[in-house]
């Protein structure tokens, strides 16, 4: 019974990933912005394996190393990152670190000024999915399902 539960979780995860990918494709959101957000989410979750994977994927796609080095300190990046890159990183950080009070209105308005509605929805879903992946990968190997 436990194996079936784990298998269903994998199948559900893949279905969610398909939906998120369709939302990204239907928006004008670039894959680079999604990948940057994924990198920041994995950094925030202290998931070294996923951080390295996202870093290397962006590097392999030709994203400049000088910009990659600014991701963890995006707020102080000055003109090193574009407004859209900063907004994507800001939104990733806001969603991952949001407490019971949620994301502040000021941050929502800042990000909404940069992205169209469908882009923001796609980015939010991509961030949520990566947050789940990063946290799941850091979960203890022994637990109630074993």
- CA distance linking residue 14 with residue 99, whole number of Å: 27
What's the pTM? 0.83
CB atoms within 10 A of CB 132: 15
Please give the domain boundaries of the chain with CATH numbers for all domains: 2-138 (1.20.1290.10)
Which pLDDT tens digit goes with each residue over 31-46? 999 999 999 999 999 9
Which pLDDT tens digit goes with each residue over 122-133? 999 999 999 988
Q: Are 13 and 128 in contact (CB under 8 A)?
A: no
Would you call 99 helix, strand, or coil by DSSP? strand
Average pLDDT over the chain reads 85
Which pLDDT tens digit goes with each residue over 11-26? 777 888 888 888 888 8
102 DSSP assignment? B
- CA distance linking residue 45 with residue 95, whole number of Å: 12
**Which H or E element spans position 96?**
helix 83-97
What are the CA-CA distances from residue 101 to residues 97, 118, 120 (Å)? 11, 24, 20
């Amino acid at each position: 019974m436990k194996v079936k539960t784990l298998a269903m979780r994998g199948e559900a995860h893949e279905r969610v990933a398909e939906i998120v990918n369709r939302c990204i494709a239907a928006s004008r959101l670039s894959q680079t912005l999604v990948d940057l957000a994924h990198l920041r989410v994995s950094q925030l979750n202290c998931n070294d394996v996923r951080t390295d994977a996202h870093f290397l994927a962006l590097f392999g796609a030709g994203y400049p190393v000088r910009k990659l080095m600014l991701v963890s300190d995006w707020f102080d990046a000055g003109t090193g990152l574009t407004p859209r890159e900063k907004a994507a990183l800001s939104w990733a950080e806001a969603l991952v670190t949001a407490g019971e009070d949620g994301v502040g209105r000021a941050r929502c308005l800042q990000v909404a000024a940069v992205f169209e509605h469908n882009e923001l929805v796609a980015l939010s879903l991509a961030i949520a999915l990566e947050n789940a992946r990063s946290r799941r990968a850091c979960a203890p190997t022994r637990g109630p399902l074993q």
